[in-house]
């Protein structure tokens, strides 16, 4: 099979699979070593504490085995990968200052247009570095910080040093260790006490180079009584070789604060997407993860909620779509470590053309955490006989007063449903879309209108050719 033909097959209607002939200012040699990690720290002119943080994480990465559970990761070639590629030497605050070919990419993705219409701030990362970052002036005047994490290390070192690695330690898992060693870019958000950022902030991540790993690091701190909605999106070109995306996200929600973190992920099908996302929620705080997972060859992502203060609440609402050759292994964790905490986990998955979607979750009620309430619901929709759905729930309950509910359903787009709709003059393809749209509606309605439209459009593209 020729390379072009292989790419065409993998594309399967993926319109964001184009790539630029990029002019990189710097790219490390392939492979991971102490020299590469020190080179990244050197280029960024990082302080010694961050250099030590990276090198310690590299040691942990080298000691930790690959996960012996979940999807097959044997095709990840760590020695045949670039760990850092820089196409621009700084993050601009005006799109006209971004290199032309990069700006054209984000124009095609609609990011500058979205910023003008309905966003309070935008960060755009191209391979390893953020190339554009901006925040509305009125929010800056209120003390809100929204910068890339490299800038935060330089300008807000005390905040970064105080919180980075506290929710996701470097040794948490092999890919968190990898991220900690070679991280670059990502977002740093700080919302002062009592400030509400009513308009969403967005970060957009684009992989362009072949055989590259993207390792952004995001840290969000919401002080007491504050609110922020952060949205991220992502795409990548189609290549015959694989790329790796291993991000780490840490969210700290203090007393009475609320953070909503929404993802509309649309990687190409040659990307291993192995992400660690976690939040710590203190007294009466609220965190909400809204997670749309489309694309990628393999995704392993389980947003975690650590409910640390009395009355804290967390929700995870996720949707996965697994097509041909894809395995979406997603889920959620809710750790109730304080009394009268509550959580709601709703996971929906759609599988077609032999795709596999798995739910993997954990609910834990610690001893002494009285009055815990948790509800877990997993719904799977199979579009054909070749696709597969799995559910792996774990309940670890140490407190007798806990009230825990779990419900799982698997259904198939059946001939009776299609016949009913077709008998009313609706074409089969349209009838299938209507059934799927009804299935995903609980997730879509939680997104801002513009993102709901995008997610619906992405699902429709995935459904092209599906026959129920």
Name which residue leads in pLDDT, 54 or 296: 54
For residue range 232-267, list pLDDT tens digits in order. Answer: 987 776 676 788 999 999 999 999 999 999 988 888
* 454 pLDDT higher than 80: no
Query: What is the predicted pLDDT for the residue at 238?
Result: 67
CA dist 220 and 145 (Å) reads: 10
What pLDDT, in 10s, does the model give residues 152-194?
999 999 999 999 999 999 999 999 999 999 999 999 999 999 9
Q: What is the pLDDT of residue 15?
A: 61
Overall average pLDDT of the 73-83 stretch: 93
As a whole number, mean pLDDT of residues 426-431 equals 84
Do residues 350 and 379 touch, judged by C-beta distance below 8 A? no
323 token code pair: 């097509």
pLDDT classification of 468: cutoffs 50, 70, 90? very low
Residue-wise pLDDT for 430-439, tens only, equals 888 888 888 8
Joined together, the tokens standing for residue 461 give 């593209």
Counting residues of the chain whose pLDDT is more than 90, the rounded percentage is 59
Spatial CB neighbours of 324, under 8 Å, sequence gap ≥ 6: 12, 352, 353, 354, 355
What confidence tens digit (pLDDT) does each residue in 327-358 have? Answer: 999 999 999 999 999 999 999 999 999 999 99
Alpha carbon 23 to chain centroid, angstroms: 27
Find, among 330, 438, 439, 442, the residue nearest to 389 by Cα.
330
Looking at residue 303, its pLDDT comes to: 97
Q: Which region among 62-71, 192-201, 420-429 has the lowest average model confidence (pLDDT)?
A: 420-429
Please indicate, yes or no, whether the overall pTM of this predicted structure exceeds 0.85. yes
Please state, in angstroms and rounded to a whole number, the distance separating the CA atoms of residues 199 and 222.
Answer: 15
Name the helix (H) or strand (E) containing 242. none
Alpha-carbon gap, residue 303 to 167, rounded angstroms: 12
Give me 77's structure tokens: 């070639």
Q: How high does pLDDT run on average in the chain?
A: 88
pLDDT at 72: 94
Nearest to 83 by CA among 197, 189, 214, 177: 214
Give the tokens for residue 361: 């979750």
């Amino acid at each position: 099979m020729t390379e072009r033909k292989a790419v065409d097959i993998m594309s399967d209607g993926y319109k964001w699979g184009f790539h630029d002939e990029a002019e990189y200012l710097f790219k490390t040699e392939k492979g991971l070593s102490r020299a590469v990690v020190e080179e990244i720290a050197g280029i960024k002119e990082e302080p010694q504490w961050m250099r030590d943080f990276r090198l310690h994480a590299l040691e942990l990465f080298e000691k930790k085995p690959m996960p012996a559970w979940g999807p097959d990761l044997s095709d990840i070639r760590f020695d045949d990968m670039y760990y850092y590629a820089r196409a621009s030497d700084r993050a601009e605050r005006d799109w006209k200052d971004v290199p032309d070919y990069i700006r054209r990419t984000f124009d095609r993705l609609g990011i500058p247009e979205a910023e003008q219409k309905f966003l309070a701030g935008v960060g755009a990362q191209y391979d390893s570095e953020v190339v554009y970052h901006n925040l509305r002036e009125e929010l800056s005047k209120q003390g809100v910080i929204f910068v890339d994490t490299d800038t935060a290390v330089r300008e807000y070192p005390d905040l970064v040093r105080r919180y980075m690695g506290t929710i996701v330690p470097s040794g948490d898992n092999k890919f968190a260790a990898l991220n900690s060693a070679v991280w670059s870019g990502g977002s740093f958000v700080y919302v002062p006490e009592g400030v509400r950022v009513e308009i969403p902030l967005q970060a957009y991540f684009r992989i362009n180079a072949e055989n590259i790993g993207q390792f952004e690091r995001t840290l969000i701190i919401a002080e007491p009584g504050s609110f922020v909605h952060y949205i991220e999106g992502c795409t990548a070109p189609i290549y015959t070789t694989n790329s790796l995306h291993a991000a780490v996200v840490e969210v700290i929600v203090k007393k009475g604060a609320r953070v909503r973190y929404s993802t509309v992920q649309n990687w190409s099908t040659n990307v291993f997407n192995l992400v660690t996302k976690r939040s710590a929620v203190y007294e009466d705080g609220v965190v909400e993860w809204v997670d749309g997972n489309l694309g990628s060859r393999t995704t392993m992502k389980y947003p975690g909620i650590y409910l640390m203060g009395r009355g804290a609440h967390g929700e995870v609402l996720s949707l996965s779509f697994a097509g041909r050759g894809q395995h979406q292994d997603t889920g959620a964790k809710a750790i109730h470590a304080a009394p009268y905490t509550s959580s709601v986990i709703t996971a929906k998955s759609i599988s077609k053309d032999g795709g596999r979607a798995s739910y993997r979750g954990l609910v834990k009620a610690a001893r002494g955490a009285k009055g815990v309430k948790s509800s877990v619901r997993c719904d799977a929709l199979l579009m054909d006989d070749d696709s597969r759905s799995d559910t792996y729930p774990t309940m670890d309950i140490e407190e007798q007063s806990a009230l825990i509910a779990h419900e799982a359903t698997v259904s198939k787009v059946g001939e009776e449903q299609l016949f009913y709709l077709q008998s009313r003059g609706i074409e089969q393809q349209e009838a299938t879309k209507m059934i799927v749209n009804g299935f995903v509606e609980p997730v879509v309605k939680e997104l801002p209108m513009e993102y709901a439209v995008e997610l619906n459009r992405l699902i429709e593209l995935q459904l092209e050719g599906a026959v129920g």
